[in-house]
Structure 1
């Protein structure tokens, strides 16, 4: 059984937050990526869609998730299952957000209006 140590976890920062990859194909050959997300209060990620289902669980703080025409409010302990191909935007609450998220390895993200996707580094 592969073990990915704390020192091997990969850290990626974006204008919206910081992602720490805990498991992925490039960290031990996992078929599913798992990462921790930390966002400052009121920070917002870009509107985008993902070509696979994602699951997010809030550990601390909270977030509003705009999912298509619906807005979900998440607090500590809440889990959201975000379907594939539905536009979404995640905005941290007033106390920020710490969450864990998972998706199939190699999942591609598409910014609003774009047809060419990219595999985010925390999923690679």
Structure 2
């Protein structure tokens, strides 16, 4: 059994959110990447896609999720299963912000759909795709 202590969690801050890595291959050899996302009220992420499925469970606040041209809102207790390679954008509730736990394969890559290259400073380039720092 591996125990990853809170003090061993890794924080990655981006212009859009703070990702706290809870488990990953470099933290105890996990075959999954698990992280917490915290977004300030009104914060909106870039239009991007991920080349692997992700599962998001909302802990606090709420968000608007744009996924493949569809828009929906989520609140605490809701779980999203986001398919691979579908454009997405998340925006935190303007009053409460947003917090979620996310699980995905640690080798997933992100790629930006529009010109906003905000993911670059927090990821390792891999061609046109980026390896987010919080999944390694």
Q: Tell me the TM-score range normalised by the shorter chain.
A: over 0.9
After superposition, give the CA deviation of every residue in 1:52-96 in whole Å (9 maximum; x if it has no partner).
000111100000110011112100100000000000001001210
SS at match of 2:62: strand
By how many angstroms is 1:51 displaced?
0.4
Q: Does 1:106 align with 2:118?
A: no
Residue pairs, 1:24-103, within 5 angstroms? 24-94=24-94, 95-103=96-104
Q: Does 1:9 align with 2:27?
A: no
SS at match of 1:21: strand
Q: What's the TM-score once normalised by structure 1's chain length?
A: 0.96
Partners of 2:45 and 2:25 in 1: CA distance:
24
Gaps of at least 5 residues in structure 2 are 116-126
Partners of 1:17 and 1:48 in 2: CA distance:
14
Count of residues in Structure 1 that have an aligned counterpart in Structure 2: 124
SS at match of 1:122: helix
Partners of 2:40 and 2:105 in 1: CA distance:
26
After superposition, give the CA deviation of every residue in 1:36-63 in whole Å (9 maximum; x if it has no partner).
0100011011111000000111100000
SS at match of 2:130: coil
By how many angstroms is 1:113 displaced?
5.3
